[in-house]
Amino acid sequence: MRESDTGFDPQATRGIDADDRQRRTGRDLLTHGGPPAEERIETLPIETVAISGRLEPHQTVTQALAGLVAAAGCRGAVIEMRGGHGEPFAFVGPAESTDDKHAAWYSETRAPEGGATLLFATAIVGWRDGKPFIHCHGHWQCEDETVLGHLLCDDTVLTEPVEVTGFGSRTAAFESLPDAETRFTLFTPHGEPASESNGFLLRVRPHEDIVLAVETACRRHGITEGTILGIGSLIGIRFDDAPPLAGPPTEVVVERGRIDNGRATLDIAGVDASWDQGAGRLTRGDNPVCVTFELLVAKA
């Protein structure tokens, strides 16, 4: 596939100003507090390790996931979780910024009485300040409603087993580091690049269309068929097959991601600052990243 076949100029991954990105998306973009980083799509090639099993109860989600990944001999991983229950169960949602330094923020913490039943979530298992750290988005049943959000893994204790699958790396992981552009501390791919890779870790920066960015990263690493796992935030969400979510901001979990013949499809679920929710296939070329998007792509 030629670069021009995607309708996307690969040079757009660096050096494009905000006005041009706004023209491409037809949408107002957010202003972040710091100078834009030159590299908009950061990748690190890895040799993937398939991980499956279950998280046992009576431990926090952080403890359970860190133990699972370590037992697989991996430094970092992206893990999908299904089923199970937690109590306490704590989470937040996206919110508008409360200061002039950040483009978005988080809601107040919600911790429903009786906990919640996990339906589906994706966890980025990485490191912060030398300790395991988890960034996790998903949806769960609590009280009388299904809610999407950002799980607080240190504050959520499992009371039932949780089934998990995913991919890890023995030499690399997402590392939580200060980010000058967004003024947040964010996950960034870090570690030793694999000499013979069959996948990669990927971070996409603000205002890049997430579907086109994944395709650009896959071309960079010669992957035309594979699986995409990840979470992130979008300014608003445009679907091929569902009504839009206005945002900004929105938080997102990839429920099914594929790269087929070099073309990416991302079926996601998302929530905005009003707790409105939506799910469907992302419209290609019309979903700019809000703060960050973290993914793992594994070659088929």
- Per cent of the chain over pLDDT 70 is 90
Chain centre to alpha carbon of residue 75: 18
Q: For 128-145, what is each residue's pLDDT tens digit? A: 999 999 999 999 999 889
What integer pLDDT is reported at residue 147 of this predicted model? 96
- CA separation, residue 259 to residues 51, 217, 225 (Å): 20, 11, 5
Q: For 36-59, what is each residue's pLDDT tens digit? A: 888 999 999 999 999 999 999 999
What integer pLDDT is reported at residue 248 of this predicted model? 77
How many Cβ atoms sit within 10 Å of the Cβ of residue 35? 8
- pTM, whole model, 2 decimals? 0.89
User: Do residues 224 and 218 make contact, with C-beta atoms less than 8 angstroms apart?
Assistant: yes
